[in-house]
Structure 1
C-alpha cells in the first residue's frame, strides 16, 4: 500500500482545520475519514494474511476488530468485508485510499464481487469507479444491481419464487385499532401498490395531508365504496400494470421457458445476458415471471424499439387482437371442467384461463387449447413446477418438474347395486 495519498488527505484536513471556512473543513475531514477507513481496511488485510490477530488472543480477524478497535459486530463485519474489494480491485483501492470514495462505496463493490462475480466487476471496474466518484453509494448500488440483473436474470425468478413461498397477510384487532402486517410477492404487491397510489394521490396543490394520511384515507374511501356498492361477483376491474421488455429479451425468455417445459427434470437453458424486462413500479423481473405476465390476460406486453442502445418510445407491438379469450370461451372452459381447476387433485374453483401452447410461443386462442387453472396452479406452472400438454379433445396431461405424471383420483362409489 502506498501511504502517500492517505497522508496527503490527512495533511489537507489538518490545514483546513485552521481555516475559518466551515465548508472546506467539512469536505477535507470527510476525505480524510474516507482515506483512513480504506487504510484501516488494508491494514486489516495484512493482519488477516499474517494472522497476527492471534497474538492478542483473537481467533478471527472479526473478533480482533471488535476487541481492539471497539466496534460492534455489524461495524466489524462491514469493515472486514471491505478488505476483499480493496485487495481484488486496484482502482477501487486507489480511489479509497485517496479519500475520493467512501467505505459505503466500497461495500457496494463487495456486493458486486459476491453477487455478480469478481471477473465481471474487474471488467467494469473503471466504469463503476467513475460512477462512485460522481454519485452517492445508492446510485452506485443501482448501477451494480442492474449489472447483476443483466448477467444473472435467473436470480430475479429465484427472488420471485422465494417471495411467493413466504407470502402472508393478516389484519388483527388490537385495543387501539387494527394491526396490518405480512409480506406480499411481486405481483400481489405491485397490484396493491397501484391501487394505493391511485387512491392516495394529492387532491391539488393545497392538499397538506401527509403521505400516511392520504394512504389511509384513500384506502378508507376505497373500502367504503366497495362495501357500499357490493363486492364484485368475479374479479371486477383490475388495475392496469405494464411490463416493458426488449424484443431480444422476450425471445430469449420464451426459448428459456420452452426448453424447461419440454425437458422437465433437467436444468433449464441458460438465459443470455440481455436487458431484463421491467415491471412498472417494481423493477427488473426474470424470464419466468415475464412469461407469466404474458400469459395473464389482464396484462399488456409492450415491445420497445432500441436504436444504438438508446430506448425509444416507439411501440412496435401491444399484444394480439384476440389474445384474450372471449366471454363465451371462458364460460365454455369453466363448464367443461365443472368449475374446478383442471389440475388433478386440485379442487379450487376460482379459475384463470391459460393457453396450453403459450401465446408467446405461437399458441392460439382456440377452445381446445385453453384450460382453466386456479391461481396457485397457474403460478406453479409458470415457476416450472407443473407442466401441461395435450388438448381438450384428446385430454390434457399433467406432470411435475421431475416428469412424474399427475392423475386424477377415481371417486369411490357407495351406491348399492339393485
Structure 2
C-alpha cells in the first residue's frame, strides 16, 4: 500500500538537516555529508525517472488538464523538455534493465550512467547488453565515471558489430574539412578530421605541449628550481606547439629527423592476425578500436615491433629475459619502453591516472636500492605521479604476479589503492573474449580474411603483440 505520509516525513527530516549548523562540521563530517547528499540526490533522480515513466503509462497527467507528461512536468515541476525527456527515457531503461534500476534507486549509480545504458540499448542487442550489464557493465558503473562506462559499451558494440568501425572511418573521410576564419581579435579554427589525421594531431599536441623544464625565452636554471618550472597553462602550450610546428614548416619544410616526429601507436594481438576466435581487434592509441581496413592502411606505412607478452622463458614475467639489462645500464632500452607502454595501454600505471606522457621508474630505486633495469622492475608513470613517488607521497611496489601495488603514504597507515580500472579492464577483456568465441561465426567481417601479419607469417607472433608505429616520412 502506498503511504504518501512518508513523503511528508521525508520533507520534515530534510528541513531538519538543512537547519543544522554546517559551518561547525569538521573535515571528515563535511566529506561524509557530501557523499550522503550525492547518494540521496542520485536516488531521488532515479525515483523521479520511475514516476515520470509511470505517469506516461497511466496517463495521470490528464487529471491535471495536461496533454502529456512533457507539458505537465514543464508546468508543475518547471522542468525543461530536455530534462523531462531524459528522465522518461531513463525510466524505460530502468524497466528494461532491472539491475540498473535497482542500482539507481540504491544510489550506487547516477542518471548519467543510466543515459549510457540507454544509448547501449539503441545499438546493442538487448539480450547481449542485459547479460553484459549483469556480468560486467553494472559493476563497472558502480565504481567508474559515466565516460568509462561509455567506452565499455562502445567496445561491446564494436565486438558485436565489427563492420561499424571501418564504416565510421569511411564516413569520417567524407566529412574532412578544416577552416580558418577571421574572428574578432584572432582566427577561429574549425572543421572535422578523419581518424588518422585526428590521431596524428592529438599525438603531436600531447608530445609537443608537455611542460618543459624551461619556458620559451627563459634562462636555464638549476634542475628543480622554481625558475625552471613551465608555468604556461595547457591551452597556451598547445597553441605554442602549433606555432613551432608551422615555424619549422615555413623555414625548413615538413619536419624531418631533427624536428618533432609524433608517432601513432597501434597494438594488435597476434591471435587477431592469425584469425583466432575471440581475439581483440587492433587499437589505435588515443582513439580506440579500429577495423581491419584501417589497420591494413596504417600497417602499410608503419614500422613494426614484436612485443612478447608470454613465451617459454622462466620467471614471473616469462618474456622479460630477452629484454632485461640488469645493472649494465640505468636508462631503459627502447624495447623496454615499448613493452611497458603496451602493458599499460599507454597510460600511467597509478590507479585512476589517465595521463599518457610516461617516464620509466625503477620500483627498486637504482641508487638507493641497487635496482636493476629489468622489465619486472620498471613501471611507467606520468611526471606528476613520478614526482609524488620521489616526494614520498605515493608508494609503489611489486606484487607477486608481475604487476604493481600503489599505496598512500600520508596518514597513519600505508593503505593500498585499489586499482579498479585494471580489475575491470581485465574482467571486461575476458568477457569480450568469451563473447567473441561464442559469436565468431556470426559476425566475422569478410575483410578480415585479407588481413595478414605485417612482419611475416602470423604464426611467428602467436605469443605476443605487434606494435605498429607510424611516423611522418
TM-score range, shorter chain: 0.5 to 0.7
Q: Is residue 214 from structure 1 mapped to residue 237 from structure 2 by the alignment? A: yes
**1:125 match:** 133
Between 224-233 and 64-73, the greater mean CA deviation after superposition: 224-233
**2:171 match:** 162
Q: Is residue 146 from structure 1 mapped to residue 118 from structure 2 by the alignment? A: no
Please give the alpha-carbon distance, in whole angstroms, between the structure 2 residues aligned to 1:312 and 1:176: 59
What do residues 226-282 of structure 1 show as CA deviations (whole Å, max 9, x unaligned)?
A: 22224589xx997432211122333449xxxxxxxxxxxxxxxxxx76423110222
Q: Deviation at 1:297?
A: 1.9
Between 28-37 and 185-194, the greater mean CA deviation after superposition: 28-37
**1:410 match:** none
CA contact (8 A) 1:31 1:99 kept: yes
Please give the alpha-carbon distance, in whole angstroms, between the structure 1 residues aligned to 2:97 and 2:145: 19
5+ residue gaps, structure 2, are 214-227, 312-316, 323-334, 336-448, 457-473
Q: Deviation at 1:46?
A: 1.8
CA contact (8 A) 1:9 1:32 kept: no
Q: Is residue 66 from structure 1 mapped to residue 90 from structure 2 by the alignment? A: no
Please give the alpha-carbon distance, in whole angstroms, between the structure 2 residues aligned to 1:66 and 1:76: 8
Find the partner of 2:292 among 278, 287, 292.
287
**1:44 match:** 52
**1:53 match:** 61
**2:107 match:** 99
Find the partner of 2:85 among 73, 77, 80.
77
Name the SS of the counterpart of 1:360 in structure 2.
coil
Q: Is residue 298 from structure 1 mapped to residue 302 from structure 2 by the alignment? A: yes
Aligned pair count reads 300
Please give the alpha-carbon distance, in whole angstroms, between the structure 1 residues aligned to 2:307 and 2:273: 9
Please give the alpha-carbon distance, in whole angstroms, between the structure 1 residues aligned to 2:270 and 2:132: 25
CA contact (8 A) 1:10 1:32 kept: no
TM-score normalised according to structure 2 size = 0.54
Please give the alpha-carbon distance, in whole angstroms, between the structure 2 residues aligned to 1:162 and 1:96: 36
Please give the alpha-carbon distance, in whole angstroms, between the structure 1 residues aligned to 2:37 and 2:162: 41
CA contact (8 A) 1:163 1:186 kept: yes
**Where does 1:249-264 land on structure 2 (aligned, <5 Å)?**
249-252=272-275
Alpha-carbon RMSD? 3.9
Please give the alpha-carbon distance, in whole angstroms, between the structure 1 residues aligned to 2:93 and 2:2: 17
C-alpha spacing 1:175/1:43, structure 2 compared with 1 (3 Å): closer
CA contact (8 A) 1:244 1:279 kept: yes
**2:446 match:** none
